[in-house]
Structure 1
Amino acid sequence: MTTLFDRYQLGDLTLPNRVVMAPMTRARAAADGLATPSMATYYAQRATAGLIVTEGVQPSLIGQSNPGTPGLHTDEQVESWRPVTAAVHANGGRLFAQLMHGGRVSHPDTNGLQPIGPSAVPAAGEVFTPTGPQPAPMPRALETAEVPEHAQSYAEAGRRAVEAGFDGVELHGANGYLISQFLSSNANLRTDRYGGSVANRIRFAVEAVSATIDAIGAARTGIRLSPGATFWGVEETDVPELYTALLTELARLEPAYVHLEATTDEETLLDLRRAWPGTLIVNPVLPMGPKQAGRDDADHWLALGAELISFGRGFIANPDLVERLRNGHPIAPVDEATYYQGGDAGYLTYPAYQYTA
């Protein structure tokens, strides 16, 4: 029987266990989207994970969604990431950069640019800006001729990620951001080759993955998806058909993995497991939902056929989460007030488990 602590071969990487650190925004980057020494320490502290996936990293300036997030679209950003990847590797870890294009989930106060999206439909709710939450602005609908350059931005950022020392990249196709917006049936109202039918709505995701694989190789490219999720107001009216079609197309490209969030019912997720022949990472509970993933959730999905299990919040307060899961030690609670406040408090200040005599 497969356990959470068995080795797994992911492309050229030998993972010492099947625990994945899920991507989580922490808003600690320096000005101009630069990674920092504190970020190097943060990720290196968690290097016992089988695989770390970083916070969302913008592949272009217009792709920046939130203030305080890092980028991979300038030479200076590449240089700033080198100490981060070196620190993780020095501690024996493996690190993928999550490439996150916010699309319509952005604001001119954050990056100086009007957000773009598949259609002129604003996101629901308020977006984060340097001066606090503001209503999501109206995005500019991309012209058909512009769409490929945004798919290509993931590939360019992928090249920069490898140059910076990352082991690979994960395209953020989930949670209402740009790829998810194209998949959506209410954020995407296009009538060209990128909208309307399921075959057209999956096209942007497939082109982004294909371009990235062409740039850095299939073994270094993964994608995260959130079937049926409603983050930022996106809707998908045909979840099983949409994601089965997408996974069928992605299977031809043979990326390193698909990373599914538990954002739909288990029966649908199991159907998608059957539709996907490659490595599957499952985030076993709803991200940012009421429950935090634990050992039982991981064991459940390993038994259902997932190869790897991702944990989000557990890694924030438990840099030694793998060891705590292995030994049955208590999982320390996280201070939600420190998620995005900046600084090292609530970032580097969580200790490893303290043994008592």
Structure 2
Amino acid sequence: MAFEVEKLLRPHIASLLPYSSARDEYSGTEGVFLDANENPIGSITQESFNRYPDPYQRELKEDLGRIKSVPPSHIFLGNGSDEAIDLLFRAFCNPGMDNVILLPPTYGMYEVSANINNVNIQKVPLTRDFQLDIKGIKNAINEFTKIIFICSPNNPTGNKMRREDILQVAKCFEGLVVVDEAYIDFSDEASFTEEMENYQNLVVLQTFSKAWGLASLRLGMAYAAPQIVSILNKIKPPYNISGLTQKTVLAALMNYGRVKDMVREILSNREELNAKLKDLPVVMKVYPSDANFLLVKVMDPKRIYEFLVEKKIIVRDRSKVTLCENCLRITVGTWEENKALIAAMNDYQSITAKAQK
């Protein structure tokens, strides 16, 4: 079916006149700049940050596009992928009227952003093997459904969704299908950016927070058809990505081999951690992972979590999350950090065994 973004867009957004910044009206890099009320003298650091940054991150998108094989016109950059998620709600979902479909267990920010924007939520839980319930999703779609969020590899379960299932949803749905690939670099799955030409309603989210090791910079990517990117650019704050972030990420893009090295190390550590955890009597199951973390089913997760906190080892207690009963989510650390975790788990096992005698 033909995808028409204009039919999804909130009417007042379609007619919105966006803010025009000084760098919208003149995008050159040379000249006497007396248009933006900046401090002409400079900043207190050796680097000069007294000028506003490029509001559309053109140089950064050019370099990123070459690495990702995506044209710059298909790239939106946000203050974390959370900004892109929020802007999608604001652009396409009428408060109090429209709804989105969420697939728990999944990334919690989708629901938070929906609630902030007063958008109704329909939940279709994953199957017991953490895959899409296609029939349930199709039954949940109605005339007010605007967005379906699919996290793959999924947080907190760690697994990738079946590719053919995601494409089936994108094919049958007239709204937006957002595929969140925050953990794609740790998976052998090809990115869904490869499918955007055939599925104009796909929005693919990625981040610099995981494999790139740049979480503190808060830079997320949304890849989509140019008309969707144009809408997001229209409603974003004028200078949403700082000059410092743009410069730092440009430098990181020049050293892409370092990212690949880090991913290989994390994947090696993941396999070793997986094996060590499976040997522990308190561990009931370690779920397969396509991410940089493991979902681990344990005996008495609350007590284990609190014991680890006392040892200054911090994991996430996911035992109250749908389909994740008795589970902890454990990020793969350095091998030294992983050894500390395993040692603490063995200590817990020994103390528990003594107490039961």
The TM-score range, normalised by the shorter chain, is 0.3 to 0.5
Structure of higher CA gyration radius: 2
Whichever structure has more helix as a proportion of its residues is: 2
Scaled by the length of structure 1, the TM-score of the pair is: 0.32
Query: TM-score, structure 2 length as denominator?
Result: 0.32
